[in-house]
Structures are given as C-alpha cells and as structure tokens.
RNA sequence: GUGGUUGUAGCUCAGCUGGUUAGAGCGUCGGCUUGUGGUGCCGAAGGUCGCGGGUUCGAGCCCCGUCAGCCACCCCA
C-alpha cells in the first residue's frame, strides 16, 4: 500500500482490482457463469440498493443487519441500504415479479458490510451466488451444493471441505431452542455479556470460535436430535444425493449460519489451504419462509453465496488459477508514420485478432520494447521498403524464426491462420 | 465496536545507541542504436520519512494523538 499523503484513496476495507490481476476475475466469473448456465440457472441482476426493509427481513438478530449495513435516506426521504447479502434481493425480485417456479437464478454482485476488515474480509466484497425459489425437494438441495462444489473444482481447488447440517423446520427448532436456551442459562457465568445474544437467538452462540467456550459448545445439546421426522428424512435424502454424486461431506452439528432466515439444509465450503481466520469460501442453505415474510406466496427455497476475493485467496494458497498470460496476437510497429498503420491495426482488430501499437512517435527500438512487453505473439512491421512492394514484415516474438514478409492485404488472414495452428 | 501490530521513492526494503546533503534493488523514462525487442552499459526523474503536536541544540529514529494498512475477536463470502 502506498504511504498515505493527501492523495485520494479507496474507502476503508474496499479494494481496487487492477490488470493483470483482474483477468483472473474474468476467469472466475466466466467459469461460474458457464457452470450455472449448464445447470439451467439464468442471470439475475438486481439494484445495488434496496429499501431498508428488504434486508431488515433477513433478521433482527443478525449482526449484518443490526450494525453492519450502509444505510442512507435518499432525496425523496426513502430509507435505503446498500446490499449486505445476496439472497434478500433475489427473493424481493421474486415476490415482485412472480416468475414461474422453480425459479433458478444466478448472480454476481458486490456486497457491503461496515465491519472491521481483516484477512479475507472486506467492506465491499463480490459474491457469485445461485438461488432456486419455490421448490422443496432434497434433490434440489443436492443440485445447488453440486453447483458450488463443481465450481470450486473448476477453479482447480482441491483442499475444500463441505460441511452440512440441518436447521430443521419451525417445530424442530422451537423444541431445540428451549433446550438450548436452558443450557446457556446453566452456563451464564461463562457467557457473560453474550447472554443477551443467547436469549435473543440461542442458535447463534453455537458456531462461536472462542476457545474458552469450546468445551461448553461441544457438550451442548445437538440440533440433530430434535429434528422432526420430516426434517430428518429430508436431511437424510440430501446426504444420499451427495453420496450418489461422490461429493464428500462432513456433518457439522454446530453449523447454523448467520442469517435468521435459514431453515432445514445449511452448508458451507471451507478452504483447508487458507490459514486465515476467514476460510469459508461459500455457504448457504434453505430459507423456506422468506418469500412469505416479504409478502409473497409460500415459496420454499435454497441458495448460496461465494466470495470471489476469498476464492482467489484460496486459489493463491493452492497455487491454482494463475493470472492468465496476455492474449495479444499482434503488435504493430510503425517505421514510416503513415495513416495506413492506423488502418492496418483496425483491420486486425475487426478480423478478431487482439492487437495493439505504441503511440507518441516512439523510435523503432522503443516500439519493439513495447511490443515485447505487451506479450504479443507477433510484431507486424510497417516499413517503407516493404510498403513499396505491398508487403509488411512479420516477426515472431516468441521464437528465433527468421522474420518474413506477408502481403499487406493478406496479413490478417495470415495471422489468424498462424494463431489457429498455435492452438492445435 | 474491541485488541495487537506496522507506516521511509510506483513496488520490496536498508537507514548503527537521535547528529547535519535519506540510500539500494526492481519498475518507469531517456541515451548507447530513430529498421528490430527480450540479456548489457550509461544517465534521469521520483521522498515535506502517513499526518499533527511535543521533547531536544538537533527527530526518519524518542513521547502523545490521529489516520491508514495488516492481523485477530465478534460475525461472515
């Protein structure tokens, strides 16, 4: 990071992504889009801001809503908030437009949370996600998990753990909450200030990382023991499905996730290669009541979000998905300073080649230096001698093959052919 | 919000127990070569040492504050 003077800088916890690093982002996004489309999910774009109430529905006891939202009042006096998470806007769009179900969508969106930045945690982060609205079937749970799991595999990630759990239905949780709350009360001394949170949402204490709580947490009553028959059967079917696909998973009894809306199946992907505190690279679950809570029809649903910054951190840790090399085909070197150079460059680009040139009347030497740094495969040299004969010179910058001449009007086709041969 | 830690050129860093003109490597730009890059040689630009205050004859170095980065808690992607 540059030393801080009076220069402008990005807001705290928000990152710029510059080339060539940004090429990896294109890579990640394209791989996700490709897989999601193969799974028959369509892209959903929603506004970056929503009415405050859209996110308030996500839960009164979630920190993200309570104290981490970027809120503002617009000029019309409306209370708006920057999106802190991806699911609520999707459900809002669903209840607003009422598309036919099951509604399968994927998204790419920045999320904003006013929390303290640390490794793998930023105030703006990008999530790729997918949601299926309006269907309650363990098989769709499996499909959604498969989408996320396969995507991580597509990136080259191998050191990934899939954690699954079931939050049960409302009946399951009501019974469990009472038992759990009684347990917390028995440990009030250890919980201290957090007792208030335990009262408000007993489940939220379960996934704490505090080492002094470890023993208490391990001995806590488990949600799985309080599942209704229907919930247990659903969860069992999900596990069968994962086994059928050969996707390894671990049941994490204390995995409860951070949003109030979760019901039934919940899951999380963690990277074992990441030695930072924030090692979850994706997570989600069922939210069977959210659509109703937003004033829509009953629409049991499931989805997940996956943070691009963390995926890339995990890729770095595993040494996969390197920055792709520049894909420039040609660099035009102009030795004559004629308008035909401009025309030639335009022709190459229109024919589908990636091409560039130097500007500012650089010396041949500097132009070749620029050509080299551009990573281009060929230098196309427009020189006075060749021009008289209707030719251009072509130099292969990545080999020691002697320079050759090609007819001016055939250069684009010649390069395209050479490019194809290089790929085969 | 809480705690720890760091802050010297675009980047990575050096700078002795405070001592006078703050250095290196890489990168950038120019030259050796305006018809040939990658390696070589020469040179240049670029820093109010994060910012503010204090201590001192003197502060990049010490003290206080502040801002920012990093890391952790909380929580999450």
CATH superfamily for domain A22-169+228-318:
Bira Bifunctional Protein; Domain 2 (3.30.930.10)
Considering only CA atoms, name the residue closest to the C1' of nucleotide B68. A4
How many Å apart are A123 CA and B51 C1'? 24
Q: Starting at the edge strand that comes first in sequence, how are the strands of the sheet with A71-73 ordered?
A: A49-51, A79-82, A71-73
ipTM: 0.89
How many Å apart are A398 CA and B25 C1'? 28
Q: Which nucleotides of B are covered by protein (CB under 7 A)?
A: 1-3, 7-12, 28, 30-38, 48-51, 67-77
How many Å apart are A204 CA and B75 C1'? 10
Nucleotide nearest to A362 (CA to C1'): B34
Better-scored residue on pLDDT, A209 or A397: A397
Q: Three-state SS across A246-279?
A: CCCCEECCCCCCCCCCCEEEEEEEEECCCCCCCC
Name residue, tokens 């560039």: A356
Instruction: Count the neighbouring beta carbons within 10 Å of the beta carbon of residue A251.
Output: 13
A345-355: per-residue pLDDT in tens? 999 999 999 99
How many Å apart are A318 CA and B60 C1'? 39
Mean pLDDT of A23-46: 97
How many Å apart are A218 CA and B76 C1'? 22
8 A C-beta contact, residue A406 and residue A414: yes
pLDDT of A56 strictly over 70: yes
Mean pLDDT of A213-217: 84
Considering only CA atoms, name the residue closest to the C1' of nucleotide B12. A1
A296-315: per-residue pLDDT in tens? 999 999 999 999 999 999 99
Sorting pLDDT into bands at 50, 70 and 90, what band is A1? very low
Q: Which two tokens stand for residue A180?
A: 């759990």
Q: Which two tokens stand for residue A121?
A: 């945690």
Tell me the percentage of chain A whose pLDDT exceeds 70.
Answer: 98
For residues A151-182, b (16+ Cβ closer than 10 Å) or e, as one string?
bbeebebeebbbbbbbbbbeebbebbeeebbe
**Predicted model pTM:** 0.93
Q: How far apart are CA A293 and CA A111, in angstroms?
A: 22
Q: CATH for A330-423, among 2.30.140.10, 3.90.420.10, 3.40.50.300, 3.40.50.800?
A: 3.40.50.800
Q: Where are the domains of chain A?
A: 22-169+228-318, 330-423
- Whether the CA torsion A22, A28, A34, A36 is positive or negative: it is negative
């Amino acid at each position: 990071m540059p030393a801080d003077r009076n220069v402008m800088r990005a807001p705290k916890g928000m990152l710029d992504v510059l080339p060539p690093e940004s090429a990896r982002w294109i890579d990640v996004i394209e791989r996700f889009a490709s897989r999601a489309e193969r799974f028959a999910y369509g892209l959903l774009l929603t506004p970056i801001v929503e009415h405050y109430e859209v996110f308030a529905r996500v839960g009164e006891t979630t920190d993200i809503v309570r104290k981490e939202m970027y809120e503002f009042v617009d000029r019309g006096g409306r209370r708006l908030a920057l999106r802190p998470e991806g699911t609520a806007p999707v459900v809002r769009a669903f209840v607003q437009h009422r598309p036919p179900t099951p509604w399968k969508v994927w998204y790419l969106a920045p999320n904003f949370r006013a929390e303290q930045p640390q490794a793998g945690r930023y105030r703006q982060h990008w999530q790729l996600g997918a949601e299926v609205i309006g269907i309650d079937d363990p098989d769709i749970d499996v499909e959604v998990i498969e989408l996320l799991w396969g995507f991580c595999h597509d990136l080259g990630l191998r050191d990934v753990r899939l954690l699954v759990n079931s939050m049960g239905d409302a009946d399951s949780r009501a019974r469990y909450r009472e038992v759990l709350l009684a347990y917390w009360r028995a440990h009030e001394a250890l919980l201290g200030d957090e007792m208030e949170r335990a009262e408000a949402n007993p489940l939220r204490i379960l996934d704490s990382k505090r080492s002094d709580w470890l023993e208490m947490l391990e001995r806590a009553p488990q949600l799985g023991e309080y599942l209704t028959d229907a919930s247990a059967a659903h969860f069992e079917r999900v596990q069968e499905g994962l086994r059928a696909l050969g996707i390894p998973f671990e049941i994490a009894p204390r995995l409860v996730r951070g949003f109030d809306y979760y019901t039934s199946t919940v899951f999380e992907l963690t990277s074992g290669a990441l030695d930072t505190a924030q090692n979850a690279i994706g997570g989600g679950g069922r939210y069977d009541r959210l659509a109703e809570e937003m004033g829509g029809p009953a629409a049991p649903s499931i989805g997940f979000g996956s943070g691009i910054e963390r995926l890339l951190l995990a890729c770095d840790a595993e040494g996969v998905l390197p920055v792709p090399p520049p894909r420039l085909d040609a660099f035009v070197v102009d030795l004559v300073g004629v308008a035909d150079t401009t025309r030639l460059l335009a022709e190459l680009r229109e024919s589908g080649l990636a091409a560039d040139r130097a500007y500012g009347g650089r010396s041949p030497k500097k132009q070749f230096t620029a050509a080299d740094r551009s990573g281009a495969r060929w230098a196309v040299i427009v020189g006075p001698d060749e021009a008289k004969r209707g030719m251009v010179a072509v130099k292969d910058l990545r080999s020691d093959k002697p320079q050759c001449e090609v007819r001016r009007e055939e250069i684009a086709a010649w390069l395209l052919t050479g490019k194809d041969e290089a790929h085969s």
